[in-house]
Amino acid sequence: MLNERSLTVSQDCAECPIRHRAVCARCESDELERLEEIKYYRKFEAGQTVIWSGDRMDFVGSVVSGIATLTQTMEDGRTQMVGLLLPSDFVGRPGRASAAYDVVATTDLVMCCFRKSPFEEMMRQTPHIAQRLLEMTLDELDAAREWMLVLGRKTAREKIASLLSIIARRDASINMRTATGTLVFDLPLTREAMADYLGLTLETVSRQISALKKDGVIELEGKRHVTIPDMARLLDEAGDDSDGGMFA
Amino acid sequence: MLNERSLTVSQDCAECPIRHRAVCARCESDELERLEEIKYYRKFEAGQTVIWSGDRMDFVGSVVSGIATLTQTMEDGRTQMVGLLLPSDFVGRPGRASAAYDVVATTDLVMCCFRKSPFEEMMRQTPHIAQRLLEMTLDELDAAREWMLVLGRKTAREKIASLLSIIARRDASINMRTATGTLVFDLPLTREAMADYLGLTLETVSRQISALKKDGVIELEGKRHVTIPDMARLLDEAGDDSDGGMFA
DNA sequence: CGTGATTTTGAAGTCTTTCAACACGCGTGG
DNA sequence: CCACGCGTGTTGAAAGACTTCAAAATCACG
């Protein structure tokens, strides 16, 4: 269960699926060449822990494919997800010695890693990397603040609707479709992971999903395959301004 | 009530109380000189709104003295605080046209402002500023994630204890004392602001403060003056590992 | 087709909110 | 000097939302 298989997969940055969104997005070709020298790929299986909170962090990296979660756990076992890491998202904090959160692979996961000190050195020499990392960090901070509103002030039903709309939106964005009208996607999270995301119990998550289904806000095939017949309706249930969400 | 009085207070960066912590912390003296050319001070009275969410942001800046809050509001009036801005904290996002949150002065407030485009230009030319801003943004992201655990998983009593310990700690840090043993400080927030911070109602905040007082975890003189006889006890009530909090 | 993980559903219990009334502190003005 | 009004804070009682505990249903998979 805990055998950490780490395979090396050589690959060209120019062909990388996250080339234009990751921390390297602004790099010129000569900068990419230098990154290629220090990068290496690691694979993790669904359910595997990538990093334990408190461990020494000797690498940073980007999610290439798959999904990972960032979670905090209290001594008594209560856990709260504090980040949902999708392809192109950055893991780790330059300048910090040990990990502040658990990172767990939710699906099979491929990461593009850099040993920490060469990456930090590269950051000092390459403003493009630091610039992009700042931009990404500001985006994450905005997302975290949006999430704080969800956690602090929304009802269970609104929380579920919010999470579904976030997933629907990013799914549309990855597949280059518009996030309006009818949308279809697979939930990448278990009920328990959704509960940890939203500060609920898994039973409440299940009940609210059933309620949204009964009310026709969503349709389900199996447990994970979701159809949103009317995105505006879902956004309304989430308590958001239904401005359509003009984000990248 | 809404007369926005903005006074200009000329002042020397070298003497600035937030010189070593703000976005300019890493700047050399020649860089400071250039910043001095584009900076200006603005004062706000307690209660005044500094920026309305959605407004065009034509400046960014640092809190010099006083306290401000960052809040989000839903259409029906529910509000969630998403940031507590203390001296040296940065306001505004380079590269963004309009404000995403309301910024409100909780106490009388002095800000050191920069018009946005000159500041953005300066950021491009001055890696020290971008570096420092990245560092500060990463710190804020960590704080937001800690806050998410509080919002999502802690009980009302733990939430209050968490907030009190955060304020106690930063107060000790500003006054250069250790955050252990007995601590004394004034609450900079009303019960309602605390409720907005913690995702509670102001009644629940009041009840839990009374309960902590009854149990001897805190002592009160008036409504705002707090004594913590035993910081470790408070941290325990907050549900945190009582590791003493080794932060700057 | 059985086994374990995941999910759903029910019933009771708990915590927080809601609604309401009252107390306190403070500045204004009679 | 004291009454009044207003913002802020406290407290009580009832209602409500979510959790907890328990059991059954469904799904994935060998």
State the DSSP H helix or E strand holding residue A40, giving kind and residue range, or none if neither: strand A39-44
pLDDT (0 to 100) of residue A111? 97
Please tell me the CATH code under which domain A155-237 is placed: 1.10.10.10
pLDDT (0 to 100) of residue A173? 81
Which nucleotides of chain C does any protein CB come within 7 A of? 6-11, 15-20, 25
- Over residues A57-63, the mean pLDDT reads 96
Residue A10 pLDDT grade (very low, low, confident, very high; cuts 50, 70, 90): low
**Largest alpha-carbon pair distance within chain B?**
56
Count CB-CB contacts under 10 A for residue B115.
14
Footprint of strand D on the protein (CB under 7 A): A 155-157, 199-201, 203-204, 207, 222-224; B 190-192, 202-203, 205-207, 209-210, 220, 223-224
Those of residues 7-66 in A touching chain B at CB distance below 8 A are: none
pLDDT (0 to 100) of residue B155? 98
In this structure, are residues A2 and A45 in contact, taking their beta carbons and an 8 Å threshold?
no
What are the residues facing B84 on neighbouring strands?
Answer: B69
pLDDT (0 to 100) of residue B180? 82
pLDDT at B214 over 70: yes
Nucleotide C15 C1' to residue B243 CA (A): 29
pLDDT (0 to 100) of residue A174? 76
- The verdict on a CB contact (< 8 Å) between A152 and B241 is no
- Over residues B204-221, the mean pLDDT reads 97
B117 touches chain A (CB under 8 A): no
Architecture of domain A13-147: Sandwich (2.60)
Report phi then psi at A113, rounded to 5. Answer: -110, 155
Q: Is A30 helix (H, G, I), strand (E, B) or coil?
A: helix
What are the residues facing A185 on neighbouring strands?
Answer: A226
pLDDT tens digits, residue range B150-195? 999 999 999 999 999 999 998 888 777 888 889 999 999 999 999 9
B41-74 b/e (C-beta count within 10 Å ≥ 16 → b): bbbbeeebebbeeeeebebbbbbbbbbbbbbbee
Residue A9 pLDDT grade (very low, low, confident, very high; cuts 50, 70, 90): low
Q: In this structure, what DSSP letter does residue A14 have?
A: G
pLDDT at A6 over 50: no
Per DSSP, the residues of chain B read ------------GGG-TTTTTSTTTT--HHHHHHHHHHEEEEEE-TT-EEE-TTSB--EEEEEEES-EEEEEE-TTS-EEEEEEE-TT-EES-TT-SB-SSEEEESS-EEEEEEEHHHHHHHHHH-HHHHHHHHHHHHHHHHHHHHHHHHHHH--HHHHHHHHHHHHHHHHHHHTT--SSS-EEEE--S-HHHHHHHHTS-HHHHHHHHHHHHHTTS-EEETTTEEEES-HHHHHHHTT---S-----
Measured in whole angstroms, the distance separating CA A218 from the mean position of its chain's CA atoms is 23
Residue B245 pLDDT grade (very low, low, confident, very high; cuts 50, 70, 90): very low
Identify the closest residue of chain A to B147 by CA–CA distance. A148
pLDDT (0 to 100) of residue A216? 96
**Two tokens, residue A246:** 């003009």
Nucleotide D30 C1' to residue A221 CA (A): 24
Describe the crossing of helices B156-174 and B127-153 by its angle, rounded to 10 degrees. Answer: 150
**Two tokens, residue A13:** 């940055």
pLDDT tens digits, residue range B138-148? 999 999 999 99
Q: Which of A189, A176, A145, A238 is nearest to A20 (CA)?
A: A176
Name which of A75, A130, A198 is nearest B134 (Cβ-Cβ): A130
pLDDT at A3 over 60: no
pLDDT (0 to 100) of residue B144? 98
Among A57, A82, A133, the strongest candidate for a mutation testing the B interface, having the largest count of B CBs within 10 A, is A82
pLDDT tens digits, residue range A190-220? 999 999 999 999 999 999 999 999 999 999 9
Architecture of domain B154-237: Orthogonal Bundle (1.10)
Residue corresponding to tokens 């200006």:
B40
pLDDT at B244 over 60: no
Q: What residue spans in chain A does CATH classification 2.60.120.10 cover?
A: 13-147
pLDDT (0 to 100) of residue A175? 79
pLDDT (0 to 100) of residue A33? 93
pLDDT tens digits, residue range B67-103? 999 999 999 999 999 999 999 999 999 999 999 999 9
Report phi then psi at B133, rounded to 5. Answer: -65, -40
Question: Nearest nt (C1') to A158 (CA)?
Answer: D17
How far apart are the C-alpha atoms of A11 and A40, rounded to whole Å?
9
**Two tokens, residue A132:** 């992009």
Select, from the ranges A3-7, A46-50, B6-10, B150-154, the one with the highest average predicted confidence (pLDDT). B150-154
Nucleotide D23 C1' to residue B210 CA (A): 41
Q: Percent of chain A beyond pLDDT 70?
A: 93
Q: Is A176 helix (H, G, I), strand (E, B) or coil?
A: coil
A97 touches chain B (CB under 8 A): no
Residue corresponding to tokens 């289904």:
A213
Strand C closer than 7 A to residue A221 Cβ: no
**Two tokens, residue B200:** 């509670």
pLDDT at A246 over 70: no
How far apart are the C-alpha atoms of B236 and B238, rounded to whole Å?
5
Identify the closest residue of chain A to B84 by CA–CA distance. A145
In this structure, are residues A105 and A68 in contact, taking their beta carbons and an 8 Å threshold?
yes
Nucleotide D3 C1' to residue B226 CA (A): 32
Identify the closest residue of chain A to B199 by CA–CA distance. A152
Count CB-CB contacts under 10 A for residue B217.
21
Name which of B127, B141, B241 is nearest A75 (Cβ-Cβ): B241
Q: Which of B157, B149, B151 is nearest to B199 (CA)?
A: B151
- The verdict on a CB contact (< 8 Å) between B241 and A137 is no
Count CB-CB contacts under 10 A for residue B91.
23
pLDDT tens digits, residue range A113-164? 999 999 999 999 999 999 999 999 999 999 999 999 999 999 999 999 999 9
- Over residues B201-207, the mean pLDDT reads 98
Measured in whole angstroms, the distance separating CA B51 from the mean position of its chain's CA atoms is 15
User: Among positive and negative, which fits the CA dihedral A159, A83, B205, B188?
Assistant: negative
| pLDDT, averaged across chain B | 92
Q: Percent of chain A beyond pLDDT 90?
A: 85
Residue corresponding to tokens 């942001």:
B57
Identify, with chain letter, the residue nearest to nucleotide C14 (CA–C1'): B155
**Two tokens, residue A55:** 């461990």
Q: What residue spans in chain B does CATH classification 1.10.10.10 cover?
A: 154-237
Residue B204 pLDDT grade (very low, low, confident, very high; cuts 50, 70, 90): very high
pLDDT (0 to 100) of residue A127? 92
B145 touches chain A (CB under 8 A): yes
Q: What residue spans in chain A does CATH classification 1.10.10.10 cover?
A: 155-237
A131 touches chain B (CB under 8 A): yes
Residue A243 pLDDT grade (very low, low, confident, very high; cuts 50, 70, 90): low
Identify, with chain letter, the residue nearest to nucleotide C19 (CA–C1'): B203
